[in-house]
Amino acid sequence: MKRNPLILAAFTALAGLAALSAAACGPGGDGARLARLEHKRDALNEEIGRLKAEMALTKGSAAPAAENPVAVRAERIGLSLFRHFISVQGTVESDNNILVPPLSPGLVKKIHVNAGERVATGQLLAELDASVLESGIAEVENSLALATTVYERRQRLWDKKIGSEIEYLQAKNAKESLEKRLATLREQVNLTRISSPIDGTVDSVLIKEGEMAAGGFGAFRIVQLSRLKVTAALAENYISRLKRGDTVTVRIPVLGMEFEASIDAVSQVIDPRNRTFQIEAGVPAAARGVKPNMLAVLLVNDYANPAALTVLKNIVQETGTEQFLFVAVPEGARWTARKRVVRTGLESGNRIEVLEGLSDGEHVVVFGFQKLADGQPLVLDGNGK
């Protein structure tokens, strides 16, 4: 048994005092000296008592009473699919959103359609004034009729070897020239007719009856709503994460609509003005009510891990550059809080991926973790077991 040096020294001093007292009581002893020695003995006894009290207090602090358990709620984590999304604004566009111009200038004679009407390929939209051309056609048709009669007679005579060959060839040339001129005039009349080049809907009518229409300038806007797409510009650092065929979630805020679409095109050229690249996703036919130029919000899945460990974002605490959380560990018959340093990755919603520091099946403290310390005994509410 180990003895305290201070107590041994005190007992040695007492033994010396006892010897001195015995000597003082003998022949020739001094009573005053004995009284002084007895006073020193009492002082030493008091010091011994104080040392014993301090030692008892020290022993008690080395073995404090057990802490009361803290009630917490824990979540058992497991491997699951984790996906990260980029949110970006886009615009609904039409692959066939075109301006149909008149092919020649002229006075607008008749408009046959109104905005909002559906039209088919080749359907007449408007007519320009072609009265001069029509008069020319009538004149040429009359000349052609005469030229045809002359040619036929010359041909019959030539077949019988009557008349000269030159007369026959002249009649044939006159007839063919008039036929070509008539075809040209009829083609020019066709140019005064504005027809739809596609199936679609008339979005707007940009000309009026009685006004002059300029050749090459838009007269009608035709939109094909069956072939809509959503386009968006993303920052260049995402270009390696996306590829054609990836799925995106598209929201149309004004309609309160959400649907999934496939990325049809990913531009491989960065716009030097804003350091972005373009993506396109087709709008499915089932997404009814979507119109060109509507605002769209795209949720682009740029990262996926089929076997990720994720926790609630708010339970991850930070001290400087260190991230940590608390796990509930079974130790014997009780649960104990253990501080766990972790390394996190991307966030999605209210969860964050944990890349290092946790294992599948562990219990992460999700409620009551704010005042925990490493080694604290816990009482789980049952949800984590």
Burial of 345 (0-12, 13-18, 19+ CB in 10 A): middle
What is the distance between the alpha carbons of residues 364 and 326, in angstroms, rounded to a whole number?
Answer: 6
282 and 361 part of one domain? no
The answer to whether the beta carbons of residues 111 and 119 sit under 8 Å apart is: no
75 and 16 part of one domain? no
Over its C-alpha atoms, the chain yields an Rg (Å, rounded) of 51
Q: Would you state the structure tokens that stand for residue 97, as one six-digit string?
A: 């959103």
214 and 102 part of one domain? yes
105 and 217 part of one domain? yes
Q: Is residue 44 part of a domain?
A: yes
pLDDT, position 58: 55
What is the distance between the alpha carbons of residues 57 and 17, in angstroms, rounded to a whole number?
Answer: 29
376 and 351 part of one domain? yes
126 and 213 part of one domain? yes
Distances in Å between the Cα of 326 and the Cα atoms of 9, 88, 145, 370, 374 are 51, 35, 103, 9, 8
Q: Is residue 278 part of a domain?
A: yes
208 and 232 part of one domain? no
- Angle, vertex CA 19, rays to CA 18 and CA 23, nearest 5: 115
Task: List the chain residues with pLDDT less than 70.
Answer: 1-30, 45-46, 49-50, 52-67, 382-385
pLDDT, position 27: 46
Q: Would you state the structure tokens that stand for residue 277, as one six-digit string?
A: 């690249």
108 and 195 part of one domain? yes
Q: Is residue 337 part of a domain?
A: yes
What is the distance between the alpha carbons of residues 83 and 121, in angstroms, rounded to a whole number?
Answer: 45
User: Which of 165, 186, 221 marks a domain boundary?
Assistant: 221
- Count Cα atoms within 13 angstroms, Cβ side, for 62: 6
108 and 192 part of one domain? yes
User: Which of 221, 236, 256 marks a domain boundary?
Assistant: 221
**Strands 310-312 vs 317-319: parallel, antiparallel or unpaired:** unpaired
What is the distance between the alpha carbons of residues 342 and 364, in angstroms, rounded to a whole number?
Answer: 12
153 and 176 part of one domain? yes
pLDDT, position 241: 85
Q: Is residue 114 part of a domain?
A: yes
Plot region of 62 (φ>0 → left; ψ -120 to 50 → alpha; else → beta): alpha
Q: Is residue 153 part of a domain?
A: yes
The full length of the chain comes to: 385
The answer to whether the beta carbons of residues 164 and 234 sit under 8 Å apart is: no
Predicted structure pTM score: 0.51
Residue 339 belongs to a domain with what CATH number? Answer: 2.40.420.20
What is the distance between the alpha carbons of residues 380 and 337, in angstroms, rounded to a whole number?
Answer: 11
Q: Is residue 145 part of a domain?
A: yes
189 and 160 part of one domain? yes
Q: How many domains does the chain have?
A: 4
Q: Is residue 132 part of a domain?
A: yes
pLDDT, position 166: 86
Domain that holds residue 9: 5-62
The answer to whether the beta carbons of residues 117 and 202 sit under 8 Å apart is: yes
Q: Is residue 385 part of a domain?
A: no
**Strands 310-312 vs 295-308: parallel, antiparallel or unpaired:** unpaired
15 and 162 part of one domain? no
What is the distance between the alpha carbons of residues 104 and 192, in angstroms, rounded to a whole number?
Answer: 6
- Angle, vertex CA 216, rays to CA 210 and CA 217, nearest 5: 60
Residue 102 belongs to a domain with what CATH number? Answer: 2.40.50.100
Residue 259 belongs to a domain with what CATH number? Answer: 2.40.30.170
User: Which of 199, 221, 243 marks a domain boundary?
Assistant: 221
